[in-house]
Structure 1
């Protein structure tokens, strides 16, 4: 029986790019995204043009029950999962005092609860199909203290730390855990516009989702623990260790002030 790769947030942007990347490698897919987000169109395109089997699941993953529903579907249809890609996430930017509390809680649910619970529910399946792997999509924001991205950065810091610890636990089971920490991605028209507003260094760190997807999938298949894609992003990681805090604060403030305040 051929195995499947499960990808959340697969209807657009980075998730869609990864779904296409997996399909090009002749891997069957279980794609999960919000209802009415274009997931069925993506699934039909992949099945027709790339000749792989696709299961299309429309759920709002900000609800715990949706995670259980995904797990029940996989169990009911006896789908062997070899790779789990936790890509679904909620972005936000703005002063913490101005953020809606319900939106904050939704962001924590999608960015923290959902990947944690899905891994827990599907771990036995992944172990049965070992060697297998988990790919968690974090962010460069998990390493830096960025005003106006405090909740987002905090949730991604959790995911980065969680993934690194889990990788050590699951190594004896031959289940790899890969964390990828991209900078900006040109995934939507709004983000493309916002990325163009940033300074030269930040603009150079931005990747197209197709390029980032190739890097991410190759890292997963090789069982790498952590990947920071892009030369500029790697340089920023080094500079973060070298620069005094006062300089880093000024650079971060200058860049973040160029962003719109709204979520």
Structure 2
């Protein structure tokens, strides 16, 4: 049987776009997302319309036990994983002093603990299906110091560094590690509204999830180490190295002030 691509956070937004992208490339899927998030309906649709095999697991990835449940499910069903996509993530919510302690811990558990542990648990499966690959979804926030994105940016900085180091370790095993660092994505109605409030440059950096998914999967299949999608985002990376810190602070403050107070 053909091997599978396992995607976390697959029921909506970027994860859903990547599930459809893999399916359109005739890849079987194992999809993971929260209960009651529409995962079963998406799985049935993909299976019937795109004619690939789909397994799905409804789990809360803020629990360490969920990673072990995924591993056990794959083993019990004898599923071969060729691609692991660590997409599930918890976004930012506000200034650090305003954040609930449990919310901070949940961000760390989903954004850091789960992709790290899941990668460890599935590594032998990936090795057995080499050449295989891991795709970790980071963010442009991993490179910039942004108010209201302090924990999120920190978790994504970890994922970026982890991925780059892991890529060197696993190269000899035929397992590539690709990290993609998109800017804003129009994944929900709230984010579409929020993105429209930003300045012109920031708005130009925003991508539709379908376009970002194509770029991400292409990068994974080409075994690239890091991808920053979008011309504007690449320019921002260069500018970050050239601009003085005081100017970057003023630009960041201007953008943050445009966000709704509840963001």
Q: TM-score, normalised by structure 1?
A: 0.99
User: Which residue of the partner structure matches residue 46 of structure 1?
Assistant: 46
Q: How many residue pairs are counted as aligned between the two chains?
A: 263
Consecutive unaligned residues in structure 1, runs of 5 or more: none
1:262, distance to aligned residue in structure 2 (A): 2.8
User: Which residue of the partner structure matches residue 248 of structure 1?
Assistant: 248
CA contact (8 A) 1:14 1:187 kept: yes
The SS at the match of 2:62 is coil
User: Which residue of the partner structure matches residue 57 of structure 1?
Assistant: 57
1:259, distance to aligned residue in structure 2 (A): 1.5
RMSD of aligned Cα (Å): 0.6
Moved more, 154-163 or 92-101: 92-101
1:184, distance to aligned residue in structure 2 (A): 0.2
User: Which residue of the partner structure matches residue 169 of structure 1?
Assistant: 169
1:60-71 equivalences in 2 (<5 Å): 60-71=60-71
- Please state if 1:142 is matched with 2:155: no
- Please state if 1:112 is matched with 2:112: yes
The SS at the match of 1:251 is helix
Consecutive unaligned residues in structure 2, runs of 5 or more: none
Quote the Cα distance in structure 2 between the aligned partners of 1:90 and 1:260. Answer: 18
Quote the Cα distance in structure 1 between the aligned partners of 2:260 and 2:112. Answer: 25
Runs of 4+ in 1 over 2 A off after TM superposition: 260-263
- Please state if 1:130 is matched with 2:130: yes
Quote the Cα distance in structure 1 between the aligned partners of 2:153 and 2:176. Answer: 24
User: Which residue of the partner structure matches residue 5 of structure 1?
Assistant: 5
1:256, distance to aligned residue in structure 2 (A): 1.3
Moved more, 88-97 or 107-116: 88-97
Quote the Cα distance in structure 1 between the aligned partners of 2:180 and 2:256. Answer: 22
CA contact (8 A) 1:93 1:261 kept: no
Quote the Cα distance in structure 2 between the aligned partners of 1:2 and 1:95. Answer: 46
Q: TM-score, normalised by structure 2?
A: 0.99
1:51, distance to aligned residue in structure 2 (A): 0.2
Quote the Cα distance in structure 2 between the aligned partners of 1:180 and 1:110. Answer: 17
Quote the Cα distance in structure 2 between the aligned partners of 1:256 and 1:220. Answer: 32
The SS at the match of 1:56 is strand
